Chains A and B, each alone.
Chain A
Amino acid sequence: MKVNVAYMAKARKVVGIANEIIELEDSCLAKDFIVNNICQRHKELADYLLDGESSIRDVFAIFVDDKKLEPNSTMSLEDDSEITIISPITGG
């Protein structure tokens, strides 16, 4: 199955690409995919995205299709799921 990942704002700049398609053999939990796949591919993003216990920091917003991924979510990925990772957007 294929998952489309889009990076926004600082997440995009850190990773250096706007989006990518990642192939998976099986479905998995979205939060596990972020920690075990995305953060392994992009170590520099992991520094921002994960805390010391490898949990996703709540400063980032992650959406699976149009649904926000909450900290204790059990949302699973499906073929053609779209993940959007948005770093904080702020102004003074």
Chain B
Amino acid sequence: MIFDNKTIREIQFPKEQLNNVISHCLRKLNGRYLVGEAKEQQAYGLIGGKLHEGILSIGKITPLNKNARQDTGVSEHMDVAVATHAIPGGMPVCHRGWIADSEETMCAVKKFQKNSMEMIGTYHMHCTSSWHGDEARDEPTKLDAVLGRDTGLIMFIVGVIDQNRPIIRAFYEGILDREIPIVEI
């Protein structure tokens, strides 16, 4: 399945899966870490779904435990991208951002395929401490657009300023003007 934001009229996101995304983000935000999980205020996951007649149906979300930020050949590229494009924040450059672990990714892809789905996107959280400044937390940053470029994936941004009212929005390849509407079902 190859798609872009013009191929998709809307994303149908089941309430249960949406809640799973939000509870993953809030749990990490509040420092309630699972055993074996990256202990940092960053939440990242993969999303599986199906496209039919312009409707992208989300079927499964997979929170990722391991941030391969330090231990892959991608790290150096990430350091440069963060140093060049990220909005300054309190966290050191070498710790900012998330690189999906390839084994975890492959495992998620297999689970999606087993359920006749494909990996259609990723999600990650923006919270107050993600960077210094007033930029909107529910929109992709310049860094997001750089990292999402040409991936063919939808980047779901979970903006958490008020923990009682998290906002989730979807952007094809992390591009601000290629937003796809989400309908909760």
Question: Which residues of A are interface residues toward B (Cβ below 8 A)?
Answer: 8-10, 12-14, 16-18, 57-59, 61, 63, 66, 68, 84, 86-92
State how many angstroms separate the Cβ of A69 from the closest Cβ of chain B: 10
The docked-state distance in angstroms from the alpha carbon of A9 to that of B155 is: 12
In whole angstroms, how far apart are the Cα atoms of A89 and B106 in the complex? 11
Contact among B72, B77, B106, B147 for A84, CB-based, below 8 A: B106
Contact A59 B74 (CB under 8 A): yes
Residues in B neighbouring A90, C-beta threshold 8 A: 74, 78, 97-100, 147
Closest to B141 in A: A92
Query: In whole angstroms, how far apart are the Cα atoms of A90 and B185 in the complex?
Result: 28
The residue on B at minimum CB distance from A15 is: B2
Contact A68 B150 (CB under 8 A): no
From residue A55, how far is it (CB to closest CB) to chain B in Å?
A: 12
Contact A91 B124 (CB under 8 A): yes
Which residues of chain B have C-beta atoms less than 8 A from A63's C-beta?
102, 106
A68–B72 CA distance with the chains assembled, in angstroms: 14
- Apart from A9-B119, A58-B73, A91-B144: 7 A-B pairs, beta carbons within 8 A: A13-B151, A17-B2, A86-B109, A88-B99, A89-B99, A89-B105, A90-B74
Q: Once the chains are docked, how many angstroms separate the CA of A87 from the CA of B105?
A: 11
